[in-house]
């Protein structure tokens, strides 16, 4: 049960930070073509799995105990709420 609490701490703090930063600096919107939505979805799923399957195990192995849980959950949610939208906005501006 305590492990779930540490997961919630990582996810909620990352959601708050990511949401604030995305609103201030990125301004991500979903009003795009269907093709762009599909490309965003595909890229998002593949890159999220890369974060979850490659980066998080490395961090969990190097951070002991509950700190590893908090850090990995923070990284997952921060990636979803801020990093991926920022990457998409930068890539779409570059290819416009």
Does residue 30 surpass a pLDDT of 90? no
Does residue 86 surpass a pLDDT of 90? yes
Residue numbers of the domain that contains 82: 2-94
User: How does residue 92 score in pLDDT terms, banded at 50, 70 and 90?
Assistant: confident
Using one digit for the tens of pLDDT, what is the confidence trace for 31-43? 888 998 998 899 8
Count of domains observed in the chain: 1
CA distance 58 to 13: 21
What is the per-residue pLDDT for 61?
A: 86
User: How does residue 1 score in pLDDT terms, banded at 50, 70 and 90?
Assistant: low
Give the contacts of 71 (CB within 8 A, at least 6 positions apart).
Answer: 10, 59, 63
């Amino acid at each position: 049960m305590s492990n779930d609490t540490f997961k919630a701490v990582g996810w909620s703090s990352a959601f708050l930070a990511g949401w604030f930063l995305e609103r201030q600096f990125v301004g991500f919107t979903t009003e795009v073509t269907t093709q762009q939505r599909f490309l965003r979805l595909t890229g998002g799923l593949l890159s999220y799995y890369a974060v979850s399957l490659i980066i998080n195990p490395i961090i969990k192995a190097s951070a002991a105990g509950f700190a590893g849980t908090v850090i990995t959950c923070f990284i997952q949610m921060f990636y979803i709420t801020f990093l991926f939208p920022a990457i998409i906005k930068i890539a779409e501006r570059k290819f416009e």
